[in-house]
Structures are given as C-alpha cells and as structure tokens.
Structure 1
Amino acid sequence: MIYAAQDTLDPYPSIILVSPEYLTSSPWKKAITTLRDDRVVDRIVVDEAHLVLKPDERISLKNIGEATKHLAPCRILMTATLPKASEAEFCSVLDIDNPYFVRRSTNRPNLRFQWVQCAPDITDQLAAASTPGV
C-alpha cells in the first residue's frame, strides 16, 4: 500500500510506502500508532538515507530518525554512497545506537555502459522535448 493522508491502514499490511513528509504528520502518526502498539510493524526501511546529511535536502528528511526510531524494533537505512568518514554524523542525525554497517563492492561485471556520440542537433531536440509547454 502507498500511504496518503486520507488512507486508513490495513490492520496487517505486508508493506507500507510513505514519503518523508508524511512521517511527521498527525494523520500518519495516528494511523501507525495502532500497528506499532499491536507490534505489527517489524521493520522500517529507508532508502537513500544518506540524504539526511545534505544541507539542501527537504527538512522532512532531517526528521526521519525521530519519526522512525520507535515505530519498529528494526530500522534498515540504506545508502550506496555514504563515505566511511560520515558514519558518525549519520548515526548522530538519525539517532542510531550500535549501528551495523554492511559494505559491499559496487562492481557489477554483468553491466556494461557505452558512450555514443550524438549529432549536435539531437541534443538540441532532446532539450526542446523536455522543456515544459513544448
């Protein structure tokens, strides 16, 4: 289910997708309270969690730590780009005690990338096509 403020939550959801803006809203807190109290929620997963360290990101991202800490016994905060040097700040911002970091190689030998030179007019056509109102 993708959560919106007017939604009523299923009493036994297998997964709920919610945007960071809703995590601190009153309707979300009210909707999730019963699930939390009934211990239906066993984990919270946040993708692109490293964005909490970027000063120009949405203020709602800064509240993810507080908004998710008491919702489930397990929080999984995913990021593929958090530098090792930023781990302490990351944990502080997200209010994480005793973190467990999993780092793996990003090498994917099954993927290939190719650079193709396009004619200059194609670049102009693509830019024009992506302009609103064109």
Structure 2
Amino acid sequence: MATVSNVRLRIEQLDDRRSRVHVTYRICYSHCEAMAGSTFVERVTLRGDDPIWDDHLITLRNGCVRAQNGCIEREITRVVANSTLDEDPDTIIFGWVIGNKDEVYARVRLTPFQPTGSQGDSNIVSAHFGPAG
C-alpha cells in the first residue's frame, strides 16, 4: 500500500488578511502499485487541533495521482485567508482583545481510486398506453 510520510506544514503571514501555506510530504508506492499503474485520490487538508474534535478548515488539494516506481516528494502551496486559519476565534470583552492561539496542522490522505457507475433518470411521461387510451 502507498505510504505518506514526512508531512510538514509551514505558514508565512503575508499581511493582516492572507497567509501563504506550504505543505510538503513524501509518497512511496509499492512495486506492484507502480506496475499496475494504480491511481489514488490525494487529499490535502488543513485542520484545527482541538481537545474534543479537530475542525476541517480547508481542502488544499483533492485530485488523482498515479503510482510511480519508488518515492516522490510533493509540495502544495496556496494563499489562504487568515480568517480561515483563525480556528480558535479571539474573545473581545469591553474592547479588550483576548487572543486565542490557533493550532493548525496538515493532513494528507491517499485513498485507492475505485471507479463507480452512474445513472440518471428522465422525466416521467403520464399517459394511457392501454385500451383506455
């Protein structure tokens, strides 16, 4: 099975409204996956680290990748609104701002692609097709 390792997140604040997010990681494929030309759905998300459950903040990538021999280094860079990264909102009491520190991490998930079928239905035609018609 393909493995994801060395996931690293770096965030550089550009201004009061935006930050540049860099996620780097390594994907290693098995020899059999490469021979078969296996396809995986690669999903890179940012999440907010919280005590009870972690919040999904934004999806940076959701697309398909094809297995290759060996390992590949990947990098995703996006500009993201600081309001999206503000996963623990600040508290304002009588004009005093109490800053809550935000804890953000990146998650990279590879899921084997499995094709599925699709169907669609037409409109319904109502008529008498029998002897009463």
What TM-score, normalized to structure 1? 0.22
- Structure (1/2) with the larger strand percentage: 2
Bigger RCO (CA 8 Å, 6+ sep): 2
- Structure (1/2) with the larger helix percentage: 1
Larger radius of gyration: 2
What TM-score, normalized to structure 2? 0.22
